[in-house]
Structure 1
């Protein structure tokens, strides 16, 4: 049952997430192409310079939490049950999305986003394993 629900909800969820990444949350088109390629340091700098803890939660934790559902893609595509295949596929896809943000100027190509999003997928994969071990096939 859980797998069936996931199969129904993942496409609209993905579309919603793409909307947020390109148009939502007050996004606008930058005048220039923006890129941040200092892994981890740019996020630490953002946290250090931010006076609003809510912004830190939304940006940093949001980039992790919003991608947890993609760790369950193995329920739909059997090859993605394997962590290596899942992460390779996801990183390839998120790089394309970040590049689209860069080329359309509707966002910033950020290496930290790739890292945080991938960590979210990894957490989702671990959660999927936990759920599968914890519950019988009848629940899934």
Structure 2
């Protein structure tokens, strides 16, 4: 039951996430192409320069939590049950998306986003394994 629901929901969810990454949340086209490749630097600077904890939680944890569903992609594509294959595939995809943000100037290529998003996928993969072990009868 869960797998069938997941298969139906993941496509519109992915499209919604792409919308957020390029057009949503007050996005605008930057005048210059921007890139931040020092790991964790932009996240630490963001936390230091942000007054409200709500904004920190939304941006930092959002970059993790929003990608947890992609840890379940093995339910659709069996090869992606293997963590190494999943992470290689995901990192390749998210780097392309970050590059598109850079080239269209509709975002900033940030290595922190790649790291946080990938961590979300990893958490999703762990959660998927736990659900499969605990509730194997219910997920079919």
| Structure 2, unpaired ranges of 5+ | none
Alignment partner of 1:121 is 2:129: no
The runs of 4+ residues in structure 1 deviating greater than 4 Å are none
44-53 or 70-79, larger mean C-alpha shift? 44-53
Q: Distance in 1 between the 2:139 and 2:12 partners?
A: 23
Retained in 1: the 8 A contact 2:71–2:125? Answer: yes
In structure 1, what is the Cα distance between the partners aligned to 2:91 and 2:114? 7
TM-score, scaled to structure 1: 0.98
Q: How many residues align?
A: 140
User: Displacement, 1:138?
Assistant: 4.0
Map 1:94-113 → 2, pairs under 5 A: 94-113=94-113
Q: Secondary structure at the match of 1:27?
A: coil
Unaligned runs of 5+ in 1: none
- Tell me how far apart the structure 2 counterparts of residues 33 and 47 of structure 1 sit (CA, whole Å): 23
